[in-house]
Chain A
Amino acid sequence: MTSLFAPGDTLASRIASQFPSALSDLQVSSLYYLGAILLVIGVGANLTAVWIANRFDYEKRAA
């Protein structure tokens, strides 16, 4: 349950495992919601990465 060594789920693995066999509209919508959360995390992480890369850009810092 709260152990790293117990079987667990990630956002991506839950979408992959439940989407093909989703039973109700509510379940499908919930999985889309998981996708939306994953999208926000993904875009946020990538924008942070670009921001960090820009801070260490020597050419821009020299200018």
Chain B
Amino acid sequence: MSKRVELEPLDEFVVDEAHEFPFDPASPLVASGNLRRRHLISRVARGGATAAAYLAVLMLGFLLWAVISRGIGAISWDFVTKGPNEGGIGPALVGTAITVLLATAMAMPVGVLTAIYTAEYAGPRVGRLVRLVLDVMNGLPTILIGIFIYAAFVAGHHQNGFAAAMALAIIELPMIARTTQELLTLVPRALRDGAEALGVGRWRVILGVVMPTVAGGVLTASVLAAARVAGETAPQILVNLVSPPEYVLNPFADHAMPTIPVTIFQLSESADPTGFQRAWGSALCLMTLILIANVVARTLHNRSQKKIESR
């Protein structure tokens, strides 16, 4: 006589509306009160996230509008070529270009070599330590770098463009080094293996195989770092403040080199109301340059991405 296994009716498994275990897999999928609440929470969270994203874009829009609407009236050929005595900012534009180029020229080799050392040569412990130091350096208030350069090179000597360039270089260094490190870890293992299998020396592999792969990315990082420090004001107030109202082309002169951020700072501090419009005009010039630099960096980045992917 075979014993029949009695199946219990499924209804008895259903504990409550919220479908706690054990639940009935055959129950119809209709919205319980709980599901409606979850939908509501989901909609609120999604709406909040969307609103925050639009708010961020809106902020940039407001900022652009404020600078353009107030600065556009000041822009003219004379404004971007003449000296401050004729109401222009030509010397400041040239000074910004010189200091930023000098700074990038100093920071780029050191940053790239630092990255090569930590990514290719250093052991894991030293590598971690260098990365930690670079991260901390990246987060330091820039005025501290200004105060350091002031104490080391300006006190007892003169303010000049080179001191400003050194301060900017110290700010750029960790940005370039960290980005290059990240890029170096993305270089496909097979590329290195291929080169090493041919008996190529370590330095030759880095120089001939690894660096060409990341060159575009390194250039992008450098342009972005340069754009970041082009508007850096705090350190320049300490090491590059008092400049003559004329073109200064020698960064080692015994006086400061006029730059855009310092010019904006001085014009907005002064009581002269015509200075405000020139300050807005300078801000517009700086903003335009930085936007151009960012677009250039983005184009370079896209090209280098394609290059890595095609390999």
B141 contacts which chain A residues (CB < 8 A)?
11-12, 38, 42
Distance between B127 CB and nearest chain A CB, rounded to angstroms = 14
Interface of B is mostly: helix
Chain B 220-277 interface residues, beta-carbon cutoff 8 Å to A: 234, 237-238, 241-242
Q: Which residue of B lies closest to A35 (CB)?
A: B147
B242 contacts which chain A residues (CB < 8 A)?
20
Query: In the complex the two chains form, is A19's CB within 8 Å of B144's CB?
Result: no
Known contacts A12-B234, A16-B237, A20-B237: A32-B139 contact under CB 8 Å: no
B237 contacts which chain A residues (CB < 8 A)?
16, 19-20
Contacts between chains A and B (CB distance < 8 A), count? 49
Q: Which residue of A lies closest to B233 (CB)?
A: A16
B150 contacts which chain A residues (CB < 8 A)?
19
Query: In the complex the two chains form, is B136's CB within 8 Å of A43's CB?
Result: yes
Q: Which residue of B lies closest to A16 (CB)?
A: B237
* Chain A count of residues within 8 A CB distance of the other chain: 18
A32 contacts which chain B residues (CB < 8 A)?
147, 151
Complex Cα–Cα for A5 and B187 (A): 51
Complex Cα–Cα for A39 and B145 (A): 10
A62 touches B (CB below 8 Å)? no
The answer, among B136, B138, B144, for a CB contact under 8 Å with A38, is B144
Query: In the complex the two chains form, is A50's CB within 8 Å of B135's CB?
Result: yes
Distance between A13 CB and nearest chain B CB, rounded to angstroms = 9
Chain B residues with CB under 8 Å of chain A are 132, 135-136, 138-141, 143-144, 147, 150-151, 234, 237-238, 241-242
Chain A residues with CB under 8 Å of chain B are 11-12, 15-16, 19-20, 31-32, 35, 38-39, 42-43, 45-47, 49-50
Q: List 25 A-B contacts (CB under 8 A).
A: A11-B141, A12-B141, A15-B147, A15-B238, A16-B143, A16-B234, A19-B238, A20-B237, A31-B147, A32-B147, A35-B143, A35-B144, A35-B147, A38-B144, A39-B140, A42-B136, A42-B139, A42-B140, A43-B140, A46-B135, A46-B138, A46-B140, A47-B136, A49-B135, A50-B132
